[in-house]
Chains A and B, each alone.
Chain A
Amino acid sequence: MNSVFVYCEIEDGQVAEVSLELLTKGRSLATELKCKLEAIAIGYNLDGIGKDIFPYGVDVLHIADDKRLAPYTTLPHNSIVVKLFQEEKPQVALMGASSVGRDLGPRVSSALHSGLTADCTSLVIGDHEDKKLDKVYTNLLYQIRPAFGGNIIATIVNPDCRPQMATVREGVMKKAIFDAGYKGKINKLDVSKYTSDTDFVVEMIERHIEKSKVNIKSAPIIVAGGYGVGSKENFNLLFELAEVLGGEVGASRAAVDAGYVDHERQVGQTGTTVRPKLYIACGISGQIQHRAGMEESAQIIAINTDPEAPINSIADYVINGDVAEILPKMIKFYKANTK
């Protein structure tokens, strides 16, 4: 049986969170498909990277180690992945929907004529019947994502072309060690056989990569605001409540687009997926892309002037009213009851 492959993104010698999450998902897919899970690590000074990767249940780790492969540039990574996939013929290949995966994935899929679904929110194994061809395909990868402004959820399949490729955003899948003592094999690639000099035409002049400052993913409580918050000033109320409760501030895409807060706070399909104990949605209507990023929160409070807002249907508590009036009261009564 052909393998499931995960492209592992490496930054500063560390495997990216999103790649570890995908290894976890890849492990469960491989188990279900009764095949191997294989990983690819491309970069420089990767000795020892195996100890970070094998515990996720990786059977084979392909390593391409060369000074010119870090930091990431498109063409050499593309050449290595394309050639390796031509040799190994994976049935499924997963990449992070990050600035690296969204740069590399489409190029690889074009070279292999494989097809690629971006920003999946769920990956499931299932069968597919093509009625026109009267043909049944078993064990395909269902690539599920919201589409068309979030008004629909589409299930995409790749019946004939391989690998079935998908990108997934950080936080969508859960990361979990499979077996701390898991033993896999390392396959060191001869980089000169997988790349050519013309792959190195793009020069890196300068580079500043910042560690993410805001960590909404691990916040136990998130106070999130949407376009309905109304202004940057009103967002201060959210920051205040978040501080009092020991949480973080999140936002919908509409609020980020309006310039109320930075993109790194965005929750949803094109932002971060979160699962806090409590999610307080302030002035957020709740389009599917937003809900996709927060609906697994343990408790949801929706504060909205619109009683018909879609967010209300997934909320545990609905407060009909104005954010500017309600948040100060929440702060006041929280303080009053915790003294």
Chain B
Amino acid sequence: MKGFKIIVLAKQVPDTRNVGKDAMKADGTVNRAALPAIFNPEDLNALEQALRIKDKFPGTTITILTMGPGRAAEIIREGMFRGADDGILLTDRAFAGSDTLATSYAIGQTLKKFGLYDIIIAGRQAIDGDTAQVGPQVAEKLGLPQVTYVEEVLAISEGKVTMKRRLERGVEIVKCPIPLVITVNSSAPDCRARNAKLIMKYKHAKTISEMQEANDDYLHLYNDRPYLNIKEWTVQDIEVNPNELGLAGSPTKVKKVENVVLQSKGAKVVTSSDEDMNQLMLELIENHTIG
């Protein structure tokens, strides 16, 4: 049986779940350097669904597409260590300041150029924005149906994918024809671990910029082993209207950003002694808060 061409949309994100005290600068802006950059968690759930399809349908290929700065190539390698076949890093200063719409436009144009896809799978949302917009917007840009909040791909047959969706208040099983865009929830199975053989195979996989920077003598390797080349695309490689990119292409503008500064209400401090606790409960009962 022939396999499927799968694109996994992934994002490298600052780990906002573990924000330390040094994460904010004195001027109230975010100190990105203090936050570790990680593979967006739900994109890993998405990758796992792609890998399961590949397990079932030999001949399936998985391409990771990410948009970001040069170092985002890390997550492409990370995906290759777990079973992805190759990747595209979409990187250009022209993308700076993109909101979700400008991002989706750039990703959509990249996929139109790349052309080879049956199933596009992304995480439901990224933890640095929690918007859950890029998946559906890419679907719209490509004119494809979308199935969001997917927990499990149950079956693929006769050109249709059957999936279980996990919603806030229930479950749906839906069937959608290929090609389509799927977004995956964190309730889906975790991504498998890195595979030792794949680490050996792909540890030297690099983008052209990384190769030039490393100035290493692996260069002949890349010519002999094309799978070590991670595609690095800029706006030159895709057909775009520059007015739809970056800040200019973003309908939403950040008007104001405020650091979260807390001013104490002047709380009553209570110890855990029996006396204090008794007094507290009495007070709450007397002012009719409880009881």
Contact = CB atoms under 8 A, between A and B. Distances in A.
Nearest to B272: A321
B276 to A, nearest CB: 8
Interface in A74-92: 74-75, 78
A153, A212, A270, A317: which has the most chain B beta carbons within 10 Å?
A: A317
Interface stretch (B43-51, B144-152, B202-210): B144-152
A158 B133 contact: no
B149 A318 contact: no
B172 A207 contact: yes
Contact of B175 (A113, A115, A205): A205
A153 B131 CA distance: 15
Which has the most chain A C-beta neighbours within 10 Å: B175, B176, B252? B252
A183 interface: no
Interface in A133-187: 142-143, 146-161
Interface in B241-257: 250-257
Nearest to B16: A149
B168 interface: yes
B265 A330 contact: no
A201 B136 contact: no
B170 A210 contact: yes
A261 B273 CA distance: 29
Contacts of B255: 128, 142, 155-157
A106 B129 CA distance: 14
B282 interface: yes
Nearest to B23: A151
B250 A115 contact: yes
Question: What is the interface residue range for chain B against chain A?
Answer: 35 or more
B interface, over-half SS: mixed
B265 A314 contact: yes
A116 B272 contact: no
Interface stretch (B63-71, B98-106, B215-223): B98-106
A106 B100 contact: yes
Query: What secondary structure prevails in chain A residues at the interface with B?
Result: mixed
B237 interface: no
Interface stretch (A20-28, A52-60, A331-339): A331-339
A151 B137 contact: no
B290 A334 contact: yes
A116 B145 contact: no
Contacts of A114: 251
Interface of B: 14, 16-17, 19, 23-24, 28, 30, 99-101, 104, 127-137, 139-141, 145-149, 162, 165, 167-177, 250-260, 262-265, 267-272, 274, 277-278, 280-282, 284-285, 289-291
15 contacts: A78-B140, A109-B101, A110-B101, A110-B137, A113-B101, A116-B131, A151-B30, A202-B147, A203-B176, A204-B174, A299-B284, A299-B289, A319-B269, A338-B285, A338-B291
4 closest Cβ contacts across the A-B interface? A149-B16, A115-B251, A209-B170, A161-B251
